[in-house]
Structure 1
């Protein structure tokens, strides 16, 4: 092998790694935008038409039937999508870091109590922004996840 080969291998490996990371981030962002859009639609229709959990259960079954290879369409996940859209109404306009968090972390943020117990080590930002331009919800996230869908 030529003596420059290890440098070439390192460069190519770095580019492959970087490209994979960018692809995963882009796929995650698109998934979150889709979940937010679905949740927003569910929230709008529910508030306008007052339907209940049977619609979410039926929708989950129909989506699973239409896309049997896909995951993430359980009734619980659809309710999380609705809660996600309600907790982050400006999500499509938000930039990193919120838009780059995986779905599981988004659920953890939604379920985190708004008023942590003193001394628990858990604190949420006191205002609508955290000083970094990240918009935080001003309503209780806990109550929206427990509401019937």
Structure 2
């Protein structure tokens, strides 16, 4: 009996070792294939561009070159040489010259999405952020659709915008995780709809994965309607998260209308409670976010006088932002900075 138990234990250990090695091997194989695929497609793009630049005789092919290549290469190699693929191979070489070759940490499918972005600064940001946060293709599409780069860049000066584009969004202090506005279009709440704060909270929980993506890297969900008790009275924080990078609780209170001074006072009370009653050794002071449909910046400024720098008031939108409006503001900021130099 004892030998049988020992055999089963050793056998399960063997299964675990084989499975682990096999999975690691698969990941290495996929990574190796991805590296070779990117390098191959980049080189094909180089051949196409160099052929196009080879003088008037070759230039006469013009737009028909890609169509002719797609037909002939498909007849030789089969799938993989569609017109669309060849266009993106060409763009890969043009967008990432030899001194700026694409990263092996992203897949060909990532670069197809990235190459759809004309602005080089914006594309660079999404490339870096995809690497930092390990975005899947759907996640990358979502962040592009929600204009994450433009929303983060809008409050920055020229140098900060360039750094954001080059390095992505680094997280080292509470301000780095704050967005204003937050885009909650995935909740599918029509604008005229009269919703309650409870419904808003319920829908966020139902779409928690999307909400975590909107919050950004490092958030872990702790709970909803988190109860705290003071003087025999119960209070409830709408949403509580823990941020793994900043090592602190993040409290979110939802408001379906404009944020008021009383909401700031309430959140400040929550922060005090968590810092004194919930924090354990190694935890940093908690961060509080009052997330409201509207906010009066002047009222917020005075209401937060001498209040914790860990407390923020942000707006949310139930619809996607107007990209062109955001882009115009950022271009104006960049041009303004240049005119001052």
TM-score (norm 2): 0.33
Report deviation, 1:65: 0.6
| Distance in 2 of aligned mates of 1:63 and 1:91 | 29
- Name 1:73's counterpart in structure 2: 81
Higher gyration radius (CA): 2
| Distance in 2 of aligned mates of 1:100 and 1:5 | 36
- Decide which structure has greater helix share: 1
- Name 2:21's counterpart in structure 1: 15
| Distance in 2 of aligned mates of 1:36 and 1:108 | 15
Q: 1:66 to 1:37 in 2, by over 3 A?
A: same
- Name 1:147's counterpart in structure 2: none
- Decide which structure has greater strand share: 2
Aligned with residue 44 of structure 2, among 33, 38, 57: 38
| Distance in 1 of aligned mates of 2:75 and 2:52 | 23
* SS state at 1:52 partner: coil
Report deviation, 1:91: 6.9
Match runs of 1:1-149 below 5 Å: 2=7, 3-49=9-55, 50=59, 51-68=61-78, 71-90=79-98, 98-114=103-119, 120-122=147-149, 126=162, 129-130=166-167
| Distance in 2 of aligned mates of 1:120 and 1:27 | 31
- Larger RCO: 1 or 2 (CA < 8 Å, sep 6+): 1
Aligned residues: 124
Report deviation, 1:90: 2.4
Report deviation, 1:53: 1.7
* SS state at 1:111 partner: coil
| Distance in 1 of aligned mates of 2:147 and 2:110 | 19
TM-score (norm 1): 0.71
| 5+ long unaligned stretches in structure 2 | 123-145, 154-160, 169-341
Q: 1:25 to 1:36 in 2, by over 3 A?
A: same
| 5+ long unaligned stretches in structure 1 | 132-149
Q: Give a deviation string over 1:56-115, Cα, whole Å, max 9, x none.
A: 1111111111113xx220112111100001111127866xxx223121110111112416
Structure 1 segments of 4+ aligned residues over 6 angstroms from their partners: none
Q: RMSD over aligned Cα, in angstroms?
A: 2.7
* SS state at 2:80 partner: coil
| Distance in 2 of aligned mates of 1:110 and 1:13 | 37
